[in-house]
Structure 1
Amino acid sequence: MTVTETRPGPRAATAPGRRPPRSTWRSRLSRFDLRCTPYLFIAPFFVVFGVFAVWPLLYTGWISFHKWAIIEGDQGWAGLHNYQALFADEYFWNALLNTALLLVLGTGVQLAVALWLAGVLNRKLAGSAVWRAGVVLPHIVSLLTLTPGGHLLDNIQRVYDTVDFWLALRNSLIISTTVTVCCVLLSSLAGFAFAKLPFRGRNALFVAVVITAMLPTQLGMIPLYMLMGKLGWIATLKAVIVPALVNAFAVFWMRQACDESVPYELVEAARVDGCSTLGTFWHVALPAIRPQAAVLAMFTFMATWNDFMWPLIVLDPSVTPTVQTALSSLASGYALDYTLILSGAAIGVLPLLLVFLLLSRQIVAGVMQGAVKG
């Protein structure tokens, strides 16, 4: 008896007009997810930061090689003439020397004290949470503004009678909340991509992020104001919100948080279970880096709330005031009324205290330790 061996033939091709098998679609989506999602995670940072931070700095460098008049604008190529005049100015060298001394001496002392204090607070102390909160709280609000006097309510009423402080509080709350939520979310996405997702150019792009963190954004304020004028955003809240949606330090902070708190084993396990990259970030990485995200949220909210220079330049204090520009209006008279100014300052710090109280547990945990202990 002869046994005939039967071999399976080739799989029939999918007829034109018919959908391919579900496994084929899943494999295509999986390949797209692995290759393209990391770039989608970092794209918002590079787009916003490139347009509203890097481009103004590059344009400032381009203008420095031209003759420039306030009214007429560009007067032609000047070459190195502006730099020669700058280097010949004694005031420039004095300012550079003072800045270098302040940087070296101040940074060295602060770093030494910070390391010593962190080591002390990281020990097992009675009431350690209170001591740690006491370290963070002075960075949010000065305790001098919280000392009430006998005429506090009368002075607060005078503040609201002098300027539209309700409008200033509302604008500052809208700006700070929007910037904080977007900055934490976008920075977490970019940080997770740089820390845990393999893609081409990852190291080079992260080095670019670190380099841009050292560039002073104040140098690009004039080109940024010109850009806001072309976009029609002058005297609108968008002019303050959009440029601050991302920053390089936030991406660096969240990248370090993901690198320390999210083990590769969890990411690989999520992939084995069929979770997408976005799902892995949302369900695995984000809960692990929540303390560090709370710290970033607090400092971002505080920095945005206290920002004064850019809102003063791009906003109209009488139409779109913020708390800081409103306080500046209180101090703009010929004779300074310090009771009025300090009363407005006391009102202005209340939202910062509220944010600290809401995030206090996460902030204290995130400042002193990571989300996962090895």
Structure 2
Amino acid sequence: MIPQLLNKKIMLVVPPISSVTRPSLGVSNLKSAAQSAGFDVNIFYACFDYAEWIGVDLNQKLAEGTRSDLLIGEWIFCDNIRTRPITEKSLNYENDVLVSHIDEAFRDTIRALKDGSEKYVDHCADIILVQDPSIVGISSTFHQHCAALSIAKKVKERRSDIIILLGGANCEEEMGRATADLFPWVDYVFSGESEVTFPYFLDLVASATEHGTPDSERNLTDSKLTQKFWDYTMAPPLAQMDDLPVPAFDEYFAHLSKATFKHRVQPALTFESSRGCWWGQKHHCTFCGLNGHTMSFRAKSADRVLSEIKYLSDTWDIHDFAASDNIIAMHHIQQVFDKIPDNSKDRFFYETKANVSEDQLRRLCRAGVTWRDRRIVS
């Protein structure tokens, strides 16, 4: 039977390898959306525990100071989810990648991390299971996939009744479909923008629980989703950006306040003012990682952007903002940044295209769009 959701916890997990210098925007949005629907949701920043486990400097080096195409984060955790014997190709990775691109001292370090990865995954499962959640949702972006799958597998082995969800950028379209097909300990995979589908899913599970629907049927469907929840669902892009919740960063700052390295972290607030890419809709760049499903450009209203910046800054007393936007909304230069006062403490990181005019650059600079990462201090 599907476990009772009412009066039980839903846990969202941010796995390693991830920077500890900013909260996860996607998971924070999902928490806010689910809480608005009446569910009890908590976020476990497992990446903080990993930074304590291996040292914050090494964690930051792996998260943001090492070439992502080397897939070191995936290699560290891959043995925990291996379903087939080790092949010659797997063995060659160490010679072809590690030896060729990494110095010997660092190579020895990550070998040690690989050897200790199962112990860390057990540690994560202990923390999750003591909370007695009914649902565990794990986010996966960049080189977090093997860690996410490792934690999911360990939790499922120890508590088969817990519903395991996976989502995030690594679950987009074909990647999500493959994850659902290849890893049987993952019950449901969410692809796309899930701020709407996640609360609907929780409603459906709660309804199925109330009516005693057997879990084995997995017959979770709803007209608002336009499809059956089987083991994989593709969410349509959110049409109205102002419908997004304000992200909940409570657990991030709670974890940071308890960290042994808290005095060294200069945190930033993640936020978004748009999704998609207005340029890519016309001319898709060859190197772009966006696909057609998430390409459509949508922006929050100027009033929403300004009010959200003020709310987050006032709430957390942080003035560094890291925008997740793929490209700045050009109309926000006039409607948002021209309205930011000259004496504002806020500083912003944005990505934009190289065709911004000199006048626009001056206006952005005046408004504080000048900030760069400098978040782990000595």
Bin for the TM-score computed over the shorter chain: under 0.3
Q: TM-score normalised to the size of structure 1?
A: 0.22
**Greater helix content:** 1
**Greater strand content:** 2
Structure with greater contact order relative to length (CA < 8 Å, sep ≥ 6): 1
Larger Rg: 1
